[in-house]
Amino acid sequence: MKEYSFTEARQHFASILDEAKKEGVVCIRKRNGESFYIKPVISKKSPLDIKGVNLDISSKDIVDIIRLGREGNYSSESVGKP
């Protein structure tokens, strides 16, 4: 972990934030001996929160695929055909 003086931190604040993001934590020390740690906040985003994928498939086709799967007919050629 790198340590910076308060003056250095003020002059290079943006780069210190980048370093904290990359390294995990940086320390800023004041002249009176007080020290402060800067570390990035861990995102509380769900691992299931993913961007959707456009497959150009209709809801009817999806229902047909599910129905065929339940019946045990797994041929992709029969999807969308009566």
Q: Is residue 73 included in any domain, yes or no?
A: no
Rounded Cα–Cα distance for residues 81 and 17 (Å)? 58
Percentage of the chain lying above the pLDDT 90 cut: 56
Secondary structure element (H or E) that encloses residue 36, with its range: strand 35-38
Q: What is the pTM of this model?
A: 0.52
Q: Is residue 66 included in any domain, yes or no?
A: no
Rounded Cα–Cα distance for residues 82 and 68 (Å)? 11
Q: Is residue 47 included in any domain, yes or no?
A: no
The number of domains in the chain is 1
Q: Is residue 29 included in any domain, yes or no?
A: yes
Q: Is residue 13 included in any domain, yes or no?
A: yes
Both tokens of 45, joined, read 């985003």
Q: Is residue 71 included in any domain, yes or no?
A: no
Q: Is residue 12 included in any domain, yes or no?
A: yes
pLDDT range class, residue 40, cuts 50, 70, 90? very high
- What domain range is 13 assigned to? 2-38
What are the angstrom distances between the C-alpha of 47 and each of 40, 51, 52, 63?
19, 11, 13, 26
Rounded Cα–Cα distance for residues 1 and 37 (Å)? 10
Residue 20 belongs to domain with CATH number? 3.40.1620.10
